[in-house]
A and B are shown apart, each in its own frame.
Chain A
């Protein structure tokens, strides 16, 4: 099975500052990796994903994540955050050729952007 560890439960940051949300995974097989975002009292929305190819993946709202196989990490970064980025972020992993798309989620990181 796979597992995910998000190293920070809460990350407070000022508006326009850079941010990094850390994610490490464990798996004995090749994986797909995801970052989801959840706004208060809502479901999760896919932010970005790594399936194959370039190890650096980007979202439409300025986030990026880099797959590092040797360090088994998939950290999420943004060079300049906005108030609207305040949300909870979940890292998730699934094995390639998985059975039914079963994802394993981390515990979540609460990003709080202050003015």
Chain B
């Protein structure tokens, strides 16, 4: 079945450690996104990518890094510079990149990161 796969679903890390969250899609979508979700704050955009080998910062990019070497994959690294990394992270994709589009996003199941 086509969709977006995030892994791991749950992750624990110690302070000072980097961690990478995986996001893979087989929907042949051009654009991919990472959102962070905290209770009562909705979804905030971390990074997005409209095309392979290109990505842009979202609203809260500090302490995070991404890569887009393949169309299907958009991993997110939470670095030790992120001051409050405990959150639920959601990856999404969209069939359009730039220009007119419906703007609909398709989401993965999420990864819950807890920093101990």
Contact = CB atoms under 8 A, between A and B. Distances in A.
Interface stretch (B68-76, B78-86, B102-110): B102-110
Nearest to B29: A101
A105 B100 contact: no
Interface stretch (A14-22, A44-52, A65-73): A44-52
B40 to A, nearest CB: 6
Interface size class of B (residues with CB under 8 A): 20 to 34
Nearest to A32: B103
Contacts of B27: none
A57 B31 CA distance: 26
B112 to A, nearest CB: 7
A51 B107 CA distance: 20
B19 interface: no
Given A94-B103, A98-B101, A101-B105, A9 B31 contact: no
Interface of A: 6, 9, 32, 34, 36, 41-46, 49, 51, 90, 94, 96-103, 105-108
Given A90-B43, A97-B99, A105-B42, 4 more contacts: A34-B104, A41-B109, A101-B33, A101-B97
Interface of B: 4, 6, 31, 33, 35, 40-43, 45, 48, 50, 56, 90, 92, 94, 96-110, 112
